[in-house]
Structure formats: C-alpha cells, structure tokens
Amino acid sequence: MNFPPLPSSLQAALVERGYAAATPVQAEVMQPQAAGRDLVVSAQTGSGKTIAFGLAMAEQLLGHSDTIPFAERPLALIIAPTRELALQVSRELAWLYGKAGARIATCVGGMNPQQERKTLRSGATIVVGTPGRLRDHLERGALDLSALKAVVLDEADEMLDMGFREELEEILDATPETRRTLLFSATMPRPIEALARRYQRDALRIATISEGRGHGDISYQAVTVSPPEIENAVVNLLRYHEAETAILFCATREKVRHLHATLQERGFAVVALSGEHSQSERNQALQALRDRRARVCVATDVAARGIDLPTLSLVIHVEIPRDAETLQHRSGRTGRAGKKGTAVLIVPFSRRKRVESMMRHAKINAQWTEAPDRDAIKTRDQERLLEKLLAPVEVDDGDRELAKRLLAERTPTEIAAMLVQAHRASMPEPEDLIANTPEARREAQKERHRPGFEDTVWFRLDLGRRQNADPRWILPLLCRRGHITRNEVGAIRIGPDETYFQIPRQIADKFAEATVRSARTDGDEDPVLIERSETGPRDAAKGNRKRHHARGNAGEPRVKAKPTKKKFDRAKNKQDGKAAKPPKGSFRKKRP
C-alpha cells in the first residue's frame, strides 16, 4: 500500500476495500504542501475524488487520534449538485470513516426532511447534501455550522451551471472563517475562479487532468448520421458494442421518455432517469443496473450526475451536449478508476462543424466514423459467440448425458447452428441504415416512395407555418379543390410562408384544371392559391425568402389570393390542447 501514513482506522478501511495504490488526485491532496490548506482541485470524473477529499480532511476530523470524538454539531460538510452524487458520496465516506466512528447525515431532496432533522439533532459528524435541502435545514435552524472545520464543494462547476450560486453563498456565509475549504471541479470556468477568490485563502491549486486530452481512459468516436436515422443508429451502436452497461444521454425529459419506450419495444433491458422521476424510482432504476436486470440507461444530464456504475463501459450522446464541459461530464461516467470506456457522439450531418469545434475546445481527439451496419454487427456477434463457446467450462454428468442425446439426434454441425440461432434470438435485431453518401441517400429516398409516386409534379400553396398550415386540414382542402382522393397526394413540405406537395404526373393536368375551376365557383372572396411549382420544395427549405408565384398555363386567368392576414394564437391553441384551426377561407365550408 503506497498511501502516506494515515490513521489506523482509515488504513484498515482502505485495505479492506482492496485499495493498494493511491490515484494521482489522492496522492496530490496528501502531499505535505497541501496539509491544512484550502485546495482548488481540477480532476476528471472517476479519478477517486471522493476518497481524495475524504482523506484530505482526515486531519480536521481525527487530529492525532484513530477515532472521531462525539460532536453535537457537524465537523465536515460536503455539498454535491444532485441527489445521486450526494448519496454516492455518503456511501463512500460511510465505509472510509466507519471504523473511526463517524456519524454521517445525508440531506437531499426527495427524502423525508423530518428524519433528516432528527439525524442532525442526534449529532452528525459529517453532513452530505444538495444545496437546496441544506439551505432549507439551515434556515429552519436544524443545521448548525458554527463548529465546522472543513467544507467540500464537489463538482462545483455543475452546481453553478444548475443555478445554485445563491444557495452556496448562503451556506458558506454561515460557516466559520477558520474552516478549511476544498473545491473540486472537473472544469475551471470563471465563476469557479470567482467563488474560490471569495471563500478561500491562499488556496493550493492541484490539476491532475492531462493537458493533451480530455480523458485518458475514454476512447471517443463521432458517428455521422442523417437526422431521421438517429434512433436506428442508437440501436445498432448498442448491438455492436454489447456493453455490460451503457448510458444514453438526451437533452430533454420528452426525448428520454420516447427513446426509453422505443428501446423497450425493440427488446432492450432499459431503464430511464430524468427529473420527472421520484427518488424511489431513481433508486430502483440504478439498482436494476447494478443487479444486471437492466443493461441500458436513458437519462438527462442532471439526472445522471453522480452515477457511478463499475460496469459502465459505453456512453452514447444521443443529442449533442450543449458545451465542452457537458461533453466531458457526460463521458466521464465511463472510463473510471483505471477502466477503459467508449464515448460515442451521434452527429447529424449539419452539426459536424459545431461538434468539431467543441471537441477542439475540450482537447479531445475523436475518431470520425459511420454507424455500424448489419454486417458489422453480425461479424461482432460471431466473434463474441465463438469466444463464449470456446471458453473453458465445468461439465457435470447431467450435461454430458444431454450432450450424448443431442449428438445421437443431430450432427455436430446442426447442433452448432442451433446454438448460434439461440444466441441471436435473445438479442434485438439490428437496423438497416442508409449508406453515408449523398447518392445512396437519394436512392433510398426514391425506394421509399409509395407505388404510383415514382414520377410526380410539385404544386404550391401560398400558406405556410406562419399561417398555421397543417397537413390535417391541408389534405382535405387539396382533395376538395382538386377533385382527388387522399391516396393521390404525395409528400407535403410546409415552409414559413408556403407549402409544397406532390401529385402524380398522370393526373397533374386534371388536378390543376380542377383547382382553377373550384377557385372560381367556391364563392369565397379570398381563395387559397394552388399552382404548379417549377422548383419544388427547395424554396420552402430556405426559410424567409421573398415570395414569388409561378405563372399559370397560357390563356388561363390567374386566380390570385391575398396573403392571409389572420394569424392564430398558437400559445392558446397549445394550452387548450387543440389543433390549430385553418385560416379563413372557402375550404372551411365543406369537407371532401
């Protein structure tokens, strides 16, 4: 054991847990020049920070003794951004200081506050909590910080990002000036620097993050996909890696719900974590991952803070992180404690430059690649199956008897084929992805056309999103004005001020004539303009361009419609849960 001299109670706890060598951050905080000083520590997630600050404050808690004397008021305070991280820190300190007789109180949202106040009144030596709950106990008089000797801010950058500055300042202002302040953060933005200047004195700066790369134990990959293929790419990445535990990061709760349901339908053992889940639901999800009942977790950034799963080897950024710091924090869920991990960013084609800039800022070198296809997954499945079947196993008499019966009924080749089929049947089927070339994507788009829509003509409406254009009422309008059925309308593309749609070429002339006649006889003063388009939906996709109208057929009178003036209260419609109503016009009077 290469740890510096420690109290025997802490040494015994480390040996019992199998700690033979200190990690870089643990070794740095125990150097002689760090003894008793305020510290600003920049270390990557998964580097052993919890044990590091636990050992760093041993002098304040134990002095020259092996046990902690009874204290009516807390001697140490650890503040963490999320419930999961606070609970994890509490568990780690419980075994580290268990033999020293420490009493630990955990104060987090979602737990019974009355029970927490009871624990605080009974004499807690170390208090671990989240900023909001700690401030609540402080204002109610249940948390007395007057005897505090050490305070730790764990993942301080995340707490400031989450808007906890006011809570942190109120808590720190209630602590004695003689306290020791340890600030741990994976990144050091300006707000962290300002916090350190205000609440620390002559702080020693410790940085154990390599300057050349964001995380030495994580292999980064960036997978470029077409936006509609993102979920298919997620399925194939999970199947390709077959990680013991994987976490998928999404930006919103809604995306977590949708992706969780999608993966469940595909046969993955998956759980979800987001702000809408109670503490009990979060605990159950994490326990399912630890028990191997689930292998995939879909989570938002905040919900996944503090998750420490030893078997987590794959992180997939389903939605691009908002900045380089978030990228590092997300990816740091894997590659912990010396283990190797993989972080994959799913990058839509249009977002590649932004992701490249983000990774440069984070000093991360990622391998740009394509999502694995069915053939690549099949090859990896074969390798894994061979490795599994060729591994040495213990066979009892019953297994030998069963093997003899099988060999009597089937050939060895047939038995091997059945094993392969049984292995594949237990795993979700991979997805077929569009090849990552413009030509292949255009060809795949053609193949997806409905029968009869191989050759079409684009038409145009002078209404768009700003007029609340919606396929639910555009389709009936086209059927009535053009004397066609729903099955004769192809793709509909809605732009800001105009809408394009496809009509099969064989009925395009008939449709155009019908729209002109219906505009004359419909009896409305301001009918919607329907006309052919020579350019198609490219104009709609370019956003706010100057509107223009193509000329009609020679000899036909032009039926011109004024732009719709009435706009609808989208917020009201959304609030009431009702679909937007169509603009005022002739098509509201009848239905096809």
The DSSP string of 480-538 is: HHHT--GGG---EEE-SS-EEEEEEHHHHHHHHHHHHHHHHHS--SSPPPEEE-SSTTH
pLDDT value at residue 305: 65
| pLDDT confidence of residue 424 | 74
Is the per-residue pLDDT at 521 higher than 90? no
pLDDT digits (tens, 9 = 90+) for 259-284: 999 999 888 999 998 878 877 888 88
Residues 334-343: tens digit of each pLDDT:
876 667 889 9
Return the CATH number of 218-373, one of 3.30.420.40, 3.40.50.300, 3.30.428.10, 3.40.50.620. 3.40.50.300
Question: Do 216 and 188 touch, CB atoms closer than 8 A?
Answer: no
- According to CATH, the topology of domain 449-588 is Alpha-Beta Plaits (3.30.70)
Query: Is the per-residue pLDDT at 348 higher than 60?
Result: yes
| pLDDT number for residue 576 | 41
* Res 572 pLDDT > 50: no
Is residue 148 scored above 90 in pLDDT? yes
User: If you average pLDDT over residues 368-391, what whole number do you get?
Assistant: 87
> For residue range 44-99, what is the model confidence (pLDDT) as tens digits?
666 788 899 999 999 899 887 888 888 889 999 999 988 888 988 999 999 999 99
Q: What percentage of the chain exceeds 70 in pLDDT?
A: 83
- Lowest-confidence region among 30-39, 244-253, 400-409, 560-569: 560-569
Fold agreement between 8-207 and 218-373: yes
Quote the pLDDT of residue 235: 94
- Domain 8-207 fold is Rossmann fold (3.40.50)
What per-residue confidence (pLDDT) applies to 433?
Answer: 79
pLDDT of residue 115: 93
Answer yes or no: is pLDDT of 581 > 60: no
- Answer whether residue 443 shows pLDDT above 80: no
Position 563 pLDDT exceeds 50: no
Task: Give me the percent of the chain exceeding a pLDDT of 90.
Answer: 32
Instruction: Say if residue 150's pLDDT is above 80.
Output: yes
Look at residues 273, 249, 302 and name the one whose alpha carbon lies nearest to residue 82.
Answer: 302
**Residue 493 CB-half CA count within 13 A:** 17
Q: What is the C-alpha separation between 589 and 587, in angstroms, rounded?
A: 6
Q: Are 432 and 473 in contact (CB under 8 A)?
A: no
Q: Give domain limits for the chain.
A: 8-207, 218-373, 377-392+402-425, 449-588
CB 490 within 8 A of CB 503: yes
Q: Which of 232-236, 336-340, 371-375, 461-465 has the lowest mean pLDDT?
A: 336-340
Higher pLDDT, 547 or 461: 461
Model confidence at 174, pLDDT cuts 50, 70, 90, reads very high
Question: Per-residue pLDDT averaged across 400-410, rounded?
Answer: 87
Q: What is the pLDDT of residues 293-334, one digit of tens each?
A: 999 999 988 766 667 787 889 999 999 988 887 888 788 888
* Tokens at 455, concatenated: 């050759």
Answer whether residue 223 shows pLDDT above 80.
yes
pLDDT value, residue 520:
72
Mean pLDDT of the chain: 81
